[in-house]
Amino acid sequence: MAEVTLLQTRGLTRRFGGLTAVDRVDFTLMQGEIRAIIGPNGAGKSTFVGLLSGRIAPDAGTVLFDGQDITRLPAHRRVRLGIAYTFQITNIYPAMTVRENLAVAAQSRLAHEAEIAAAAQEAAIAVGLEDRLPDRAGALSYGHQRLLEVAMGLALHPKLLILDEPTQGLSDDEIDNFLTVVRRVAQTATVLLIEHNMDVVMALATAITVLDRGRILAEGPPEAIARDPAVQDAYLGRAT
């Protein structure tokens, strides 16, 4: 089966004052990938995915998604097209139940109560939270809150799920569970994740993009990236 391009950027640029956080980035993501974005602190990773999700506006360049130019579309319009973005810090409604959190997400694409309930149930099952649907979200462990956030993204039925530091703060057992969840998600959606935990990256990613000073330093399969001298220098030369 021929590969299908899901997302492309051309010359994507974002400046903050005198700092160029993302510098003329050309990037291509194929449908069905689990792509990891790595790089030293300050490399521009979160700014880049903010540009993809529509939470940050570019100064120059274009973003194409599923063949459509979405460069100037706001985040909520991109959600409707199939881009779901989970934050580096949990972004749930702590006073609401797990079921209600998932229903809020599903309501952005569905109108009928039965469909919303079914989507919430399906998303909970996908991340292993089906037994927690009646529980208050704020009472969940941190690891379960992160899974709920992923489930809220899944309730949107995304074509692309963007995860920003998804394993931050998770225990080893929670990380193992998260790996299982992402592999399950990748059966129906393309996954793009920013991740500092290289064990997670090497276990999950089908391809890796390395950012450094706002530019792509290297791209390729995990094995090649691990051997790349420029990548090793970027990590060894500055704090990660």
Q: Read off the pLDDT of residues 139-184 as tens digits, 9 standing for 90 and up.
A: 999 999 999 999 999 999 999 999 998 888 888 998 998 999 999 9
What pLDDT sits at residue 239? 40
Is 1-81+192-240 in CATH node 1.20.1050.10? no
**Looking at residue 92, what DSSP letter applies?**
-
- Residue 87 confidence (pLDDT): 67
- Give every CB contact of residue 222 below 8 A, 6+ residues apart in sequence: 201, 202, 205, 207, 208
Average pLDDT of the segment spanning 16-39: 96
Residue ranges of the domains in the chain? 1-81+192-240
Q: Binning pLDDT at 50, 70 and 90, where does residue 240 land?
A: very low
**Predicted TM-score of the model (pTM):** 0.90
Q: In a 10 Å sphere around its CB, with 0-12 CB exposed, 13-18 middle and 19+ buried, how is residue 152 labelled?
A: buried
Whether 78 has a pLDDT exceeding 90, the answer reads yes
